[in-house]
Amino acid sequence: MGFELGALLGKMNILSSTSDHTSVVSLNVFIVLLCICIVIGHLLEENRWMNESITALIIGVCTGVVILLISGGTSSHLLVFSEDLFFIYMLPPIIFNAGFQVKKKQFFRNFITIMLFGALGTLISFVIISLGAIGFFENMNLEPLKIGDFLAIGAIFSATDSVCTLQVLNQDETPLLYSLVFGEGVVNDATSIVIFNAVQNFDLSHVNTSVALKLIGNFIYLFITSTLLGVVAGLLSAFIIKKLYFGRHSTDREVALMMLMAYLSYMLAELFDLSAILTVFFCGIVMSHYTWHNVTESSRITTKHAFATLSFVAEIFIFLYVGMDALDIDKWKIVSDSPKTSIKVSSILLGLVLLGRAAFVFPLSLLSNLTKKSPEEKIHFKQQVTIWWAGLMRGAISMALAYNQFTRAGYTKLPGNSIMITSTITVVLFSTVVFGLMTKPLIRLLLPSPKHLSRMISSEPITPKSFIVPLLNGQDSEGDPGAHVPRPSSLRMLMTAPSHTVHYYWRKFDDAFMRPVFGGRGFVPYVPGSPTEQNDNQFH
């Protein structure tokens, strides 16, 4: 008995050491591939067709081919695709950095339009793709797909790729378009995940008006609570750093606290089943407006580059991951008996993606234009085409949701589920590579020439100075945006120029109540060698 137990423990140790060795080998390969992507991306920086996402995706596919050849056609990836790896470790730094670096003036100026596209638009796309999937796939005998699966397909393919979207436009050259495309991407991701979770949690055997209202109410609740959680986490970090002056002893503590508080906000949202994407995004916005100004100058530089670097590496890792997993031979073996069906399903899904996006971008753009008085604020047709095109790419979020719905621990033996997984992979590869390659030339063709861009370029300084610009403030930080704005004497006057009055009253509230408590622009943190007494009210 003792001998058998000793032999069993010996085998377990051998397996453990083998597993550890495999993990070390996998990590080494991934690190080498990340370095290769960075080098090639640098060399192709000026290329009119390529971008970092496409480069990483192609390298991932090529690596998958090499691994297939080495393994004799048994495996194409080093790691099994994990939704937890994506949602818990890779996505948070990307979304947080997006909120931390975003130009707040443009984002909040177009907030209503962004919500129209990101929330209502995603819902419209979900309905069209779901109805299309039901209409086309029910007659194709894709066992064992049911109504819940078809609705999940609508949520999966309504999710645009926010990682790709961030690389489509330059926020300094086209601030309006960048804020719309980027803002819609973040809200879209959150909305798609909320819809996906709702489809899985609700009883879909009796779909009626009551269920639809519950879905809408659930989304509104999740949006508000997720946003508030992110704001509270950001304000708490600002208050702690402002009151305790971490920089007097160690700037490392300041940087570490900002990173941990940001990640804590994301994990708390996951814990309470909220939208972690929205939470960490608004946490990033609040931290850039308050917390960032409370730390020492060296910490500001460090946090800016640290967040950007983590986001950059996570983006590349995701596309490498997706590219390698796309050639997983087990999934393709199951659908090899019906290649025509797989191609047909992929083509239908791609067509539904094109239709679903067009169905809301152009009508909602028209609706948004009706509320705009200034021609510069309206979304012109060429800009609408750019917005439509920029959101056609599908990526890792679609992959993660598809794996969640149609596999167990990354694997499936059911033909219908395998077809949906391989079709998702096909749509992701095609949209990212083909549409991605055409994005830069299309934007250069559609957007005005540089000499006409001067009136569109934001007056907001480039990062990191952009953090100095107050939230919702369209003027220079030294001026008072509301100093020469007449008070509206009627409702009509208020509707014709609402942005100026909102900016003005926000500045008054921010200066009077928020900054004395949470710091922000103008606050001077403790610096070794300087007097310990700080002037907390030095804002102007």
Partners of 408 in the β-ladder: 411
pLDDT tens per residue across span 165-194: 556 566 677 778 888 888 888 888 888 888
What is the distance between the alpha carbons of residues 161 and 63, in angstroms, rounded to a whole number? 22
Distance CA 165, CA 178 (A): 9
The Cα-based distances of 7 to 16, 346, 472 in angstroms read 14, 51, 68
Of 266, 402, 387, 267, nearest to 322 by C-alpha is 402
Question: CA-CA distance, 88 to 239, in Å (whole number)?
Answer: 26
C-beta of residue 246 within 8 angstroms of C-beta of residue 298:
no
Strand partners, 411: 408
Mean pLDDT (10-residue bins), the chain, 540 residues = 48 49 79 90 74 83 84 68 79 88 79 89 93 86 78 91 63 78 84 82 67 76 89 93 78 89 94 88 91 87 91 87 77 74 90 94 91 81 89 85 77 78 89 83 72 40 39 38 44 45 67 79 56 39
Q: Per the structure block, which two tokens stand in for 296?
A: 């020492």
Candidates 12, 41, 21, 13; CA nearest to 312 is 41
Structure confidence at residue 540 (pLDDT): 34
The CA-to-CA distance between both ends of the chain, in Å, stands at 80
Specify the length of the chain in residues: 540
Domains observed in the chain: 83-451 (1.20.1530.20)
Would you state the pLDDT for residue 441? 81
Look-up: residue for tokens 């596309």? 319
pLDDT per residue over 446-480, tens digit each?
875 554 444 433 434 334 433 333 343 333 333 34
The span from the CA of 269 to the CA of 494, in Å, is 37
Q: Which residues contact 464 (CB under 8 A, 6 or more apart)?
A: 300, 301, 304
DSSP one-letter string for 335-396: HTT-HHHHHHHHHHHHHHHHHHHHHHHHHHHHHHHHT--SGGGS--HHHHHHHHHHT----H
Distance of CA 84 to the CA centre of its chain: 16
